[in-house]
Amino acid sequence: MLCVCVCAYRPVLAKAIQSLSRIGDELYVEPQEDGLALRSVNSSRSAYACFLFAPLFFTRYTIPSGHAFRCKMAIKSVQAVFRSLASLEKTVEKCHIELDGQKNRLTFTLHCRHGLLKTHNLSFQDSESLQAVFDKDSCANVFRAQPRLLVDTVVHFPPSLEEVTVSVSDERMWVRNHVEEEAEQSKAMLTELCLASDEFDHFAAQAHNSITFCLKELRGLLVFAESTGLPISIYFDEPGSPVVLSVTDNVLEGNFVLATLSDDASLRKNNTERVRTSPPPPPPPDDFMNDDMDSYLIAMDTSIAPGPSTSRPPTTPLADSTCSKQPAAANHRTRLHSEVEEEDETSDTDKPPNKKFCSLFFGSVLPPSSQMSTQPLTKQEVLASDSEDDTPGD
Amino acid sequence: MKFRGKIVDIACLNHFTRVITTISKLTKMCVLRLTPDNLYFVLSGKVANGGVSMWCELSQANFFDEYQMEGVSSEANEICLEVTPENLSRALKTVQSAKAVKIKLTKKHCPCLTIAAELPTMSSINRVVTHDVPVDVIPRRLWHEFKEPSMPDFDVSIYLPPLKTLKNIVDRMKNLSNFLVVEANLNGEMNLKIETDLVSVTTHFKDLGNPPWGDDASQDGGPSQSRDPDDMAQARVDIRKLQQFLMGQQVNPSKSMCNIVHQRILHLILLHEDVSLQYFIPAVA
């Protein structure tokens, strides 16, 4: 099992890794038929990022057919390969990436000027498939902006700020810092920025909502977008469902999926009891929205495991089309599922959730055949190991 | 109680920001006193802030294109607010390119100084950013704590060498000792000394010049007249306090001087056209 990717050196690869490093500690690498996927997720699983470099990005892209392969490694070690971006840009001519499944080696060879070769051998671990389930195309609110606009927006907020709230109307977008507790409000400085719709390349706000999400990951994407000059598209629906930030050009696509806080600030600072008595303003679609954590969960639909999310109405898991082409093993899904379930259960006890954003939207992708069906997957309860052998080949 | 100011000129905005940033480096909290003509940033020497006090005076006309204020009452036409200069500085720093910046006293979730700026954009509509900096309104009965400190009856007054030079020396001395002795005489000489069990270091400056205080000075033609020009007055101060003062310095003063009350206080004064910043560091035994 050997995958080889060769490309003329472009800083965009290094920048992608740099912005993934803002998300999580591990880099998930998966050579797919439609390109090389690099992914990362944060420890609380509230933020996920994926870059897909199309085969055309590379001068040579060969992967063994009929055999899915994926691995993960510490993102730090990969960053080390691309340390000192500025000097790399001047000296490196070609970049050769080789994934050797037999030797458990990921090899980066940088072909520099004057025939100098720099080889980095990284070891890796096998991993489950990491795939967030999201559907940006169905989002009611879609915006596209030049990275400069967002960089100029973010600069108004202190580096220590964790979350921002974005509100939209037909003509305007407001960005505010999110202040957690009422007690803090008297101390905290509030910053609000108002952007007119014509500053955006595209501005379509069908649902006038406000969402709150982490700024750190957005900053991470901005590092990438600014260096590549690619416009950023923002997709979101309503509080509690994730916001998707994406950059695309003809050879690469990057998607950042970030959890948003569920609707009401008053919901979060109290325990479940309180929440039950005062449901969020837009009434939840079912009786089991008694825990605000539930509203983070999307596409966690067909679970038959006991737990608070069991009886949620089935929402069709729709995976993003570009990132979901490979069939993935159901056991991976199960594994991630079980993690989510665990968190769910903790949240259902009287202890209020300690994380503001909770784990969500993970389940790896269903095979296309079952993707649209609402029929529960019987395998889901099984806590299977993530060994490669169970993976059905395609 | 009303306050509203507007800065249009970019140089004024820049200068104002630098003053506030300097203050933010000196203290976490301070009092902003607004009068019809001036703005004052005041830190009164309490034990909690190490006995250090500060008095910074700005003439509003030199910064603001529009300035309206209405104090607590007509006979006490002032507003006294406790502010976090760091917040003000941060808010102002991000609006350096603004077409216009308004600073208003507002009542939001709590009393705030609202800094609103119109930022230039390519679009027809301006981008507007507002920063609400929470403040505490100081009741009138406490105002007496924030009056201008009287000029101490100093023994020696001397012009300071370039602050950058001073900073470099103090930074190095700080590695060796926690306390530093500043001494100066009326002959234009100043020494910075540290003394520990292991090492004694002294930096000598000469020909600095002594400011002519004339009749303004509070010493009634007093001690400094009769003083032996070579006789040193000295103050031993916490080196971190002095370092803090030198470090945050962004005003580029046209004149900087220091007054020493022997073994009592080190009084630093920076003058820059319309701004004066005074900083008092108590001497320790």
- Indicate if the pLDDT at residue A200 is higher than 50: yes
Residue B73 distance to chain A (closest CA, Å)? 26
- Say if the Cβ atoms of B108 and A158 lie within 8 Å: no
Map chain B to HEC letters. CEEEEEECCHHHHHHHHHHHHHHHHHCCCEEEEECCCEEEEEECCCHHHCCCEEEEEEEHHHCCCEEEEECCCCCCCCEEEEECHHHHHHHHHCCCCCCEEEEEEEECCCEEEEEEEEECCCCCCCEEEEEEEECEECCHHHHHHHCCCCCCCCCEEEECCCHHHHHHHHHHHHCCCCEEEEEECCCCCEEEEEECCCCEEEEEECCCCCCCCCCCCCCCCCHHHHCCCCCCEEEEEEHHHHHHHHHCCCCCCCEEEEEEECCCEEEEEEEECCEEEEEEEECCC
Residue A123: pLDDT band with limits 50, 70, 90 = confident
Residue B226 distance to chain A (closest CA, Å)? 53
Cα B219 to Cα A216, B53, B236, distances in angstroms: 58, 21, 22
What pLDDT does B102 receive? 93
- Indicate if the pLDDT at residue A52 is higher than 80: yes
- Indicate if the pLDDT at residue A380 is higher than 50: no
Lowest mean pLDDT, pick from A270-274, B66-70, B151-155: A270-274
- Indicate if the pLDDT at residue A314 is higher than 50: no
- Indicate if the pLDDT at residue A194 is higher than 50: yes
What pLDDT does A264 receive? 55
Distance CA A376, CA A100 (A): 36
pLDDT in tens, A67-107: 778 888 999 998 888 887 777 778 888 888 888 878 888 89
- Indicate if the pLDDT at residue A26 is higher than 60: yes
What pLDDT does A181 receive? 67
Report chain A's mean pLDDT, rounded to a whole number: 70
Averaged pLDDT, A203-232: 90
By Cβ distance, the residue of A188, A191, A199 closest to B127 is A199
pLDDT in tens, B207-246: 998 888 765 544 444 555 577 888 899 999 999 999 989 9
Residue A165 distance to chain B (closest CA, Å)? 14
- Say if the Cβ atoms of A156 and B110 lie within 8 Å: no
Give the CATH class of B2-146.
Answer: alpha beta
- Indicate if the pLDDT at residue A65 is higher than 60: yes
Q: Residue A146 is encoded by which pair of tokens? A: 């030049």
Averaged pLDDT, A119-140: 83
By Cβ distance, the residue of A158, A189, A194 closest to B127 is A194
Q: Chain A interface, mutation test: which of B127, B133, B135, B137, most A Cβ atoms within 10 Å? A: B127
Q: Chain B interface, mutation test: which of A150, A186, A189, A199, most B Cβ atoms within 10 Å? A: A189
Query: How much is the pTM?
Result: 0.73
Contact A197, A172 (CB under 8 A): yes
User: Which residues in chain B are closer than 8 Å to A187, comparing Cβ atoms?
Assistant: 134
Distance CA A241, CA B26 (A): 44
- Say if the Cβ atoms of B131 and A189 lie within 8 Å: yes
- Say if the Cβ atoms of A196 and B109 lie within 8 Å: no
- Indicate if the pLDDT at residue A319 is higher than 70: no
User: Which residue is closest to A151 within chain B, CA to CA?
Assistant: B94
- Say if the Cβ atoms of A190 and B127 lie within 8 Å: no
Distance CA B274, CA B137 (A): 26
Distance CA A200, CA A232 (A): 10
CATH topology of domain B156-282: Proliferating Cell Nuclear Antigen (3.70.10)
- Indicate if the pLDDT at residue A133 is higher than 90: no
By Cβ distance, the residue of B124, B128, B133 closest to A189 is B133
User: Which residues in chain A are closer than 8 Å to B91, comparing Cβ atoms?
Assistant: 189, 191
Tally of residues, chain A: 394
Cα B176 to Cα A70, B7, B196, B241, B242, distances in angstroms: 56, 45, 8, 15, 15
- Indicate if the pLDDT at residue A14 is higher than 70: yes
Q: Helix or strand or coil: residue A247?
A: strand
Contact A25, A13 (CB under 8 A): no
The domain limits of chain B are 2-146, 156-282
What pLDDT does A302 receive? 29
Averaged pLDDT, A380-384: 36
- Say if the Cβ atoms of B131 and A191 lie within 8 Å: yes
Report chain B's mean pLDDT, rounded to a whole number: 87
What pLDDT does A186 receive? 65
Residue A144 distance to chain B (closest CA, Å)? 15
Averaged pLDDT, A164-170: 92
- Indicate if the pLDDT at residue A304 is higher than 50: no
Alpha helices in chain A (DSSP H): 11-21, 75-81, 85-91, 147-154, 182-185, 215-228, 265-268, 272-277, 330-348, 368-371
User: Which residues in chain A are closer than 8 Å to B125, comparing Cβ atoms?
Assistant: 196, 198-199
Averaged pLDDT, A19-30: 91
Domain pair B2-146 / B156-282, same fold: yes
By Cβ distance, the residue of A152, A185, A198 closest to B123 is A198
What pLDDT does A112 receive? 87
By Cβ distance, the residue of B108, B121, B129 closest to A191 is B129
What pLDDT does B214 receive? 65
- Say if the Cβ atoms of A190 and B132 lie within 8 Å: yes
Residue B92: pLDDT band with limits 50, 70, 90 = very high
What pLDDT does A385 receive? 39
- Interface of A to B at Cβ within 8 Å reads 152, 155-156, 158, 185-196, 198-199
What pLDDT does A381 receive? 36
DSSP state of A104: T
Q: How many pairs of residues across A and B have Cβ atoms under 8 Å apart? A: 57
| Share of residues in chain A with pLDDT > 70 (%) | 65
What pLDDT does B49 receive? 67
By Cβ distance, the residue of B94, B112, B122 closest to A156 is B94
- Indicate if the pLDDT at residue A313 is higher than 90: no
pLDDT in tens, A366-379: 333 333 333 333 33
Residue B81 distance to chain A (closest CA, Å)? 14
- Say if the Cβ atoms of A198 and B131 lie within 8 Å: no
Task: Considering only residues B204 and B226, tell me which one the structure prediction assigns the higher pLDDT.
Answer: B204
What pLDDT does A362 receive? 53
Averaged pLDDT, A17-44: 90
- Indicate if the pLDDT at residue A19 is higher than 80: yes
Residue A274: pLDDT band with limits 50, 70, 90 = very low
By Cβ distance, the residue of A189, A192, A198 closest to B134 is A189
Residue A205 distance to chain B (closest CA, Å)? 18
By Cβ distance, the residue of B87, B110, B119 closest to A186 is B110
pLDDT in tens, B30-52: 999 999 999 999 988 776 667 88
